Chain A
Amino acid sequence: MAEGEHITLRVARYRPDEGETEPTLADYDVPLRRDWAILDALNYIKDELDGTLSYRWSCRMGICGSCGMMIDGEPRLTCATFLTDLAPGPVRIEPLANFPVIRDLIVDLTDFMHKLGRVKPWLIRDEERPVEDGEYRQTPAQLDEFKQFSMCINCMLCYAACPVYGLDDSFVGPAAIALAHRYDLDSRDEGDRQRLTILSQPNGVWDCTFVGECSAACPKGVDPAGAIQQVKLAAAQEALKSLLLPWRSR
């Protein structure tokens, strides 16, 4: 890489407060540095070239899940995508697909927040133990059952990758179902029937056609597509059981 080399970032800008009715692309030349991720380049634009550019970011290390954007049409974390891998450019940077755009690279995630709450992603007990009885314990093997699904950082790349959600945003979506499944698999939890009832409703797991792009997009190795199919299987088994053994269904 030659000293002083540059790369062009083609960044989506949308400023409704200035009367814009649709996004446009603006070109910015930034230094092509080996140690720079897209996020570093965006920070460079904000600090040195155009302070009005708006985007979300926080940790810079793939944990906070706030810097997800479409990079050349692919949903990626900008902190984990390096400029040198995209050279010579230009690199197109747009807000996450399938969500309404508030401004520039910022999307509105309210829809997901509502959905996440609806699937009850917390420990549900039939009877809560008193606090003085101590914590609910589990073995490392029991932890391994759900650990993969607990790695979700709510970055929304899976929603941006999901054509089902893109075509109809009433679908609960990959991350919310994966997080519900994480609690279903938790040995301390007793709420799987409650969640199954919610997830087998219209707009739940059965909306998923197993495109599989959510799992391909996930930066944390969670497999939301797998989680959805596992919930489908559980729902089907439960339906069959209540059909064949109605007296046994609780």
Chain B
Amino acid sequence: MISPLEARYYRRRMPLLWWVRRRTHALFMAREVSSLFVALFVVELLLLVRAVARGATAYEAFLDAMARPAVIVVNLVALAFVLLHAVTFANLTPRAMIVRVRGRRVPSRAILASVYLGWLVVTAFLAWLVLA
């Protein structure tokens, strides 16, 4: 039940395209959308696993499908969004995680460096796995 005074309050609504006016808001929306591309990569990975399980012919067919120019373009766009997702996620880690070693707070730069180092190690391992 609102009072007669409250009934006269002016209530503003946010426009549907509230995020286009500010660069930071647009970047935020891009980060939100990037989740879809992360999901796309997961689906592609699952399709790859299925193709491998079905044998050599299915695997060859999967590779042919992935080599189509349209698929490559989509995957390049997806890669850009996934990188945006990963970099912004990593950069926000020090603010979400407070780490203490022997009672002392680890500086946020060290946390950030360890996140990127971990990323580098995993990437190097995967590169070795695929290329070696």
Q: Which residues of A contact B (CB under 8 A)?
A: 14, 16-17, 21-23, 73, 97-98, 100-102, 108, 163, 166-167, 209-213, 216, 223, 225-226, 229-230, 232-233
> B92: which A residues are within 8 A, CB to CB?
210, 212, 229
B12 within 8 A of partner (CB): yes
Cross-chain pairs A/B with CB under 8 angstroms, 23 sampled: A14-B10, A16-B8, A17-B8, A21-B10, A22-B10, A100-B11, A101-B9, A101-B11, A102-B5, A102-B9, A163-B18, A163-B19, A167-B14, A167-B18, A209-B32, A210-B92, A211-B25, A212-B24, A216-B24, A223-B95, A229-B92, A229-B96, A233-B96
19 new A-B contacts, CB < 8 A, other than A98-B12, A163-B14, are A16-B10, A17-B8, A21-B10, A23-B10, A100-B10, A101-B9, A101-B11, A102-B9, A209-B32, A211-B24, A211-B25, A216-B24, A225-B95, A226-B95, A229-B92, A229-B96, A230-B95, A230-B96, A230-B97
Chain B 87-119, CB within 8 Å of chain A: the 1/0 string?
000001001111000000000000000000000
CB-based closest 8 A-B pairs: A229-B96, A100-B9, A226-B95, A16-B8, A101-B10, A166-B14, A211-B28, A100-B11
Given known A-B contacts A101-B9, A211-B28, A166 and B18 have beta carbons under 8 A apart = yes
**Which residue of A is nearest B9, CB measured?**
A100
* CB atoms of B96 and A163 under 8 A apart: no
* Assembly CA distance A210 to B88 (angstroms): 11
Question: Within B17-59, which residues are at the interface with A (CB < 8 Å)?
Answer: 18-19, 21, 24-25, 28, 32
> B97: which A residues are within 8 A, CB to CB?
230, 233
> B25: which A residues are within 8 A, CB to CB?
163, 211, 213
Give the number of residues in B that approach A within 8 Å (Cβ atoms). Answer: 20
Q: Pick from A97, A223, A229: contact of B12, CB below 8 A.
A: A97
* CB atoms of B9 and A108 under 8 A apart: yes
* Assembly CA distance A213 to B32 (angstroms): 15
Output the least CB separation between A165 and chain B (Å).
10
* Assembly CA distance A166 to B19 (angstroms): 12
* Assembly CA distance A22 to B12 (angstroms): 10
Output the least CB separation between A230 and chain B (Å).
6
> A14: which B residues are within 8 A, CB to CB?
10
Output the least CB separation between B107 and chain A (Å).
14
* Assembly CA distance A87 to B46 (angstroms): 58
Chain B CB within 10 Å, residue with most, of A16, A73, A210: A210
* Assembly CA distance A229 to B97 (angstroms): 8
Output the least CB separation between A241 and chain B (Å).
17
**Which residue of A is nearest B97, CB measured?**
A233
Output the least CB separation between A26 and chain B (Å).
15
Output the least CB separation between A54 and chain B (Å).
13
* CB atoms of B95 and A213 under 8 A apart: no
> A17: which B residues are within 8 A, CB to CB?
8
Output the least CB separation between A76 and chain B (Å).
15
> B21: which A residues are within 8 A, CB to CB?
73
Output the least CB separation between B110 and chain A (Å).
16
> A233: which B residues are within 8 A, CB to CB?
96-97
* CB atoms of A232 and B9 under 8 A apart: no
* Assembly CA distance A108 to B6 (angstroms): 9
> B10: which A residues are within 8 A, CB to CB?
14, 16, 21-23, 100-101
* Assembly CA distance A108 to B11 (angstroms): 10
